[in-house]
Amino acid sequence: MSTISTEEQREKLDLAQNILGYRFENEQYLLSAITHPSAIEGKPVKHSYERLEFLGDSILGAIVSDAAFNAYPELDEGGLTRIKVSLVSGASLSRVAEELGFADFIIFGQSEQGTGRRGLHSALENVYEAVVAALYLDGGIDPAQGFVSRTLITQMSADMALEPENPKSALQEKLQEEGITPTYKLVETQGPPHDRTFITQVYAGIQELASGVGRTKKESESQAAASALDMLLGNTPEVKLAKEAQRAAKQEKKAQVRAAKAAAKAARAAEKKSKKEAARSGGIQE
């Protein structure tokens, strides 16, 4: 039985179902999945995403494992594990959830409102897993699998099976070319003791290069190093967008040249045909 009681809940449920492309028979599953623990203070834990997150983590792992197992029959256990870990990592899930617009329908409590929702990164990851569980409970494995396939499996690649390069080591090698050693500083810790999120900044001397977020200090440092490498190597979203724009411009120019050649060819053919018809017409008159 649904316990939808506020206008905010109704609006966010409708938005969530539109984004998911699925209508729930029991909307309570979805309501719990999109409700942050800060919004249910004094209520049973089942009314937030915490229990669903536990179930969704296992279902998500099984779906991704099945997809990788069937897509790459030549890979050994180690390669398949690396693909799974890469896809279901906190950074991956939170990024996908953010791109889908999950941040717009998560229900936060008063303690999180007005803080800039500092725990949003962790919440996005948790809600993604909870949504997988909600879909499974409401409609079985098919809607859950369909959702994961559309939003996450499409990003799976064989490159994820490769032995990962340590971003911190790679960054250190890059900076030491200029005689600089990177340093890391933990700047913020979010969440309760059982669900910590760490934010770390990496510096080159006194210059801040980038920040990273992770469920452990080590993961946050690794994410910061990876972001710094992207910046130094020109792989930031802004640079990628500029490169894509340049490629698009080149393709458009080539298309214009081809179109001009085709038009010129058509004009010559039309002129030739016109001359032939004129010649035939002149012969008939004579």
Q: How many CB atoms lie within 10 A of CB 24?
A: 21
Instruction: Name the 3-class secondary structure at 181.
Output: coil
Cβ 194 vs Cβ 122: under 8 Å: no
Which listed residue (27, 53, 57, 221) is catalytic?
57
Cβ 12 vs Cβ 39: under 8 Å: no
Query: DSSP of 127-141, one letter per residue?
Result: HHHHHHHHHHHHH-H
Please name the amino acid found at residue 65. Answer: S
d(C-alpha 103, C-alpha 127), whole Å: 10
Which listed residue (27, 53, 129, 138) is catalytic?
129
Distance, C-alpha 32 to centroid of its chain: 23
Residue 57 annotated among the catalytic residues of the structure = yes
Q: How many CB atoms lie within 10 A of CB 215?
A: 18
Task: State the Rg of the chain over Cα.
Answer: 27
Residues serving a catalytic function are 57, 129
